[in-house]
Amino acid sequence: MASHVLRTAPRRRIRLDEHLPVDHRLSRFYRIGAGLMGLVLLVFGVLGLIDKVGFFDTRGDTVSGLSTNGALSVLSICVGLLLFAGMVIGGNVASTINMVLGVLFILSGFVNLVLLDSGLNFLAFRMPNVLFSFVVGVMLMFFGMYGRVGSALPHDNPYWRSRHPEQAAQEQRQQAGAELRAKALAQGTRSTPAPLGDSRSAR
């Protein structure tokens, strides 16, 4: 008995190296997100270093309501500078940096939540730090995924066009044809002479 094999079209995976014009509005959004979050982390890190707390002091010191030590301050500065680099580069790089760091911040929140009352709390985390890590992680993921990940992206979105090249090309041809027909119709309307009024014979 012959067996019939049903074949379905393979689903196209989301790629992180898809092309996005640097001057696209999404690129500006990724730049703004990376710059804002980078500035927050950079200021927090610099304020922590000013207090000259021990590098791995598990008791830490308080800066803007958050506990910190030398290690956390240096780490915050490094991450802030990385976000600034993403802001300068823009495009897919800024989006990817935002997404990756967002995931890492959320994971850091869970890991340090487990280590709060242990001797391995080398970043001097307290509960406000855990909540701050979650908030920063969610914000970074939002700034990185906006307009890039989703099932209902508009068809003029560059990521959607990259993932559906055949359909995008077909829609582009249809749009070009519609524009040509509209242009031809407009030219025909302008070239058609206006009807003359009824002439009356002079008596």
**Confidence band of 196 (pLDDT split at 50, 70, 90):** low
Tell me which H or E stretch contains 63. Answer: strand 61-63
pLDDT category at 30 given cuts 50, 70, 90 is: confident
Nearest to 95 by CA among 12, 44, 13, 24: 24
Q: How many CB atoms lie within 10 A of CB 44?
A: 21
User: Among 33, 25, 53, which Cα is nearest to 140's?
Assistant: 33
Which pTM value belongs to this model?
A: 0.67
Read off the pLDDT band of 202 (50, 70, 90). very low
Size (the chain), residues: 203
Average pLDDT, the chain: 75
Alpha helices in 51-145, H assignment, sequence order: 70-89, 91-114, 127-145
| Residue 195: pLDDT over 70 | no
Q: Which residues pair with 67 in a beta bridge?
A: 62
Identify the pLDDT of residue 85: 94
Query: Which of 11-20, 73-82, 145-154 tops mean pLDDT?
Result: 73-82
Say if residue 67's pLDDT is above 70. Answer: yes
H or E stretch including 67? strand 66-68
What dihedral angle (degrees, nearest 10) is formed by the CA atoms of 154, 155, 161, 165? 140
The 10s digit of each residue's pLDDT in 132-183 is: 999 999 999 999 887 676 555 554 555 545 555 555 555 555 565 556 666 6
- Phi-psi group of 45: left, alpha or beta (phi > 0 → left; psi -120 to 50 → alpha; rest → beta): alpha
Which residue type does 20 have?
Answer: L
Average pLDDT over residues 103-131: 92
